[in-house]
């Protein structure tokens, strides 16, 4: 049977291990919570950065600012955070993808991000080229306006019909209408402006071509010269306008691509955040399961320790009762009553047990003293019996008895001597046992006194 002390040691060791385990699990859970929160925050911020990048691109497209700091900063932060999520960054406390599905999702995002950055680089290049071309709109419009005005003046000087002069004057108005609707379209991209632009553009072109194909006008040398110059300026102006429109169209296309891929990257990043969140929840649930299991085991051992303490208390009470019974076992009735009254005053169990054992030891000492006296008296009786036996043997020699009678007498004497010898041996053994008991009880008493 396992000793209670061994069970207590086992319970104490297991409880200590459980407490250490629970503390370590709690620390680890707090650490992983902080780490998971950081990673989820970084991944979640990527979603915001895609929106910020797209917003900055559209803002730059509709404003004349050349400040790319915000856009470039957002691109650099997204690039750096994506690299950290892909490969981990111990300095920032970001771990590498913990599951293959998360790694695969991040690689897909990386591929999408490469395309996104390509669009952004094209956007910045086209935006700069478009802005350079836009800066020349006033100058180019002024140039075509001046040559159109020169045509009107030559026609007036040549006293041409009012219809020609009116059409030539309308050309001046059309140059301003072309410039206005082109500028408005480049600013806000409204379709009504591009429609009005193309209408004015086509009307100016058709009117100029009609002038160039009218023999009555081309026969006039001065007007021929001015109309030829007008044609050359118009070709250059048209090429400028077409180049600007093409670049603006490409810029709009890139912005549309940025808007579309932003949605794709945003959704992909959202799936990655969901995967990180699910992984964090699963890991925390597993760790909490370990924590709860350890707590339950510790609780069971605590209940078992309470049971053992109860058993120890019962055993100690039994020991106290037995020690009291031993202490009064050699007393008369009056002494037993006085002794029990003395016990009622005491409150310390160890003191009572020590007192009981001390009292019992004192009684054992008395018994040992009595036993020693009995041994001494037995030895004296044996010596006297031996003297009597020798005396009887001497007298038997002088008596005239038959052999059978002598043998009976000798046998009786021998039996008496054997009884005396056996009694002495038993008394001696009893004395030794009592001495051993006295030694053991004295040890118990000393230990209980030290405990007090």
Of residues 71, 66, 73, the one with CA closest to residue 135: 66
At residue 60, does pLDDT exceed 70?
Answer: yes
> Which class does domain 134-248 fall in?
mainly alpha
Question: Does the pLDDT of residue 444 top 90, yes or no?
Answer: no
Q: Residue 93: CB partners within 8 Å, gap ≥ 6?
A: 34, 35, 38
DSSP 89: B
Whether the per-residue pLDDT at 440 is higher than 90: the answer is no
Select the more confidently predicted residue: 346 or 353.
353
Model pLDDT, residue 403: 66
What average pLDDT does range 217-231 have in this prediction? Answer: 91
Q: Which two tokens stand for residue 355?
A: 């007192």
Query: What does pLDDT average to over the chain?
Result: 79
Residues 437/441/443/445 CA torsion (nearest 10 deg): -170
pLDDT tens per residue across span 243-298: 988 888 898 899 999 999 999 999 999 999 999 888 888 877 777 777 777 778 77
Chain-centre distance for alpha carbon 141: 66
Q: Which pLDDT belongs to residue 129? A: 87
Q: What pTM, to 2 d.p., does this model score?
A: 0.61
pLDDT at 356: 62
User: Is 80's pLDDT higher than 90?
Assistant: yes
- Residue 396: the pLDDT is 57
Least confident of 113-127, 200-214, 300-314: 300-314
Q: How far is CA 272 from the centre of its chain?
A: 18
Structure tokens at 19: 């407490």
Higher pLDDT, 131 or 210: 210
State how far the Cα of 251 lies from the Cα of 30, in Å rounded to an integer: 49
Q: Using the predicted structure, report yes or no on whether residue 94 has a pLDDT greater than 90.
A: no
The pLDDT tens digits for 405-423 are 666 666 766 676 667 677 6
If phi > 0 it is left, if psi is from -120 to 50 it is alpha, else beta; for residue 88 that is: left
Structure tokens at 82: 């994506």
The whole-number average pLDDT for the span 115-139 is 89
Domain boundaries, the chain: 4-132+254-305, 134-248, 333-451
Query: The domain at 4-132+254-305 falls in which architecture?
Result: Up-down Bundle (1.20)
Residues 6+ apart with CB under 8 A from 272: 43, 46, 85, 102, 105, 106, 109
Average pLDDT over residues 137-161: 90
Predicted pLDDT at 137 = 84
Two tokens, residue 225 = 């010269």
* pLDDT tops 80 at residue 364: no
């Amino acid at each position: 049977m396992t000793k209670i002390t061994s069970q207590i040691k086992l319970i104490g060791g297991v409880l200590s291990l459980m407490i250490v385990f629970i503390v370590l699990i709690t620390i680890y859970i707090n650490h992983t919570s902080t780490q998971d929160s950081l990673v989820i925050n970084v991944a979640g911020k990527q979603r915001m950065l895609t929106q910020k990048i797209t917003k900055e691109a559209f803002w730059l497209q509709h404003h004349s600012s050349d400040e790319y700091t915000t856009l470039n900063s957002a691109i650099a932060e997204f690039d750096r955070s994506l690299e950290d999520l892909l490969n981990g960054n111990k300095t920032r406390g970001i771990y590498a993808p913990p599951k293959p599905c998360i790694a695969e999702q991040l690689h897909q995002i990386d591929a999408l991000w490469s395309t996104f950055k390509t669009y952004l680089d094209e956007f910045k290049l086209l935006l700069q080229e478009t802005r350079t071309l836009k800066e020349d709109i006033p100058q180019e419009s002024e140039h075509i306006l001046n040559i159109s005005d020169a045509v009107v003046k030559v026609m007036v000087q040549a006293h041409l019909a009012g219809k020609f002069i009116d059409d030539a004057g309308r050309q001046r108005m059309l140059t301003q209408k072309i410039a206005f609707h082109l500028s408005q379209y480049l600013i806000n991209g409204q379709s009504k402006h591009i429609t009005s632009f193309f209408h004015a553009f086509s009307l100016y072109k058709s009117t100029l071509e009609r002038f160039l194909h009218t023999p009555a006008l081309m026969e006039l040398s001065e007007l021929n010269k001015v109309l030829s110059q007008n044609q050359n300026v118009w070709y250059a102006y048209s090429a400028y306008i077409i180049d600007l429109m093409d670049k603006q169209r490409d810029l709009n296309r890139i912005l549309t691509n940025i808007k579309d891929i932003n949605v794709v990257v945003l959704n992909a990043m959202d799936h990655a955040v969901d995967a990180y969140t699910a992984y964090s929840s699963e890991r925390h649930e597993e760790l909490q399961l370990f924590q709860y299991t350890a707590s339950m085991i510790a609780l069971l051992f605590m209940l078992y320790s309470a049971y053992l303490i109860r058993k120890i208390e019962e055993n100690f009470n039994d020991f106290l009762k037995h020690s009291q019974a031993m202490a009064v076992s050699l007393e008369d009735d009056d002494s037993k009553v006085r002794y029990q009254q003395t016990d009622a005053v005491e409150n310390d169990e160890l003191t009572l047990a020590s007192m009981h054992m001390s009292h019992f030891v004192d009684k054992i000492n008395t018994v040992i003293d009595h036993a020693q006296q009995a041994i001494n008296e037995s030895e004296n009786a044996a010596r006297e019996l031996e003297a009597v036996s020798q005396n009887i043997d001497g007298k038997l020699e002088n008596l005239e008895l038959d052999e059978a009678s002598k043998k009976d007498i000798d046998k009786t004497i021998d039996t008496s001597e054997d009884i005396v010898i056996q009694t002495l041996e038993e008394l001696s053994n009893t004395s030794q046992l009592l001495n051993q008991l006295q030694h053991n009880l004295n040890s118990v008493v000393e230990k209980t006194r030290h405990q007090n």
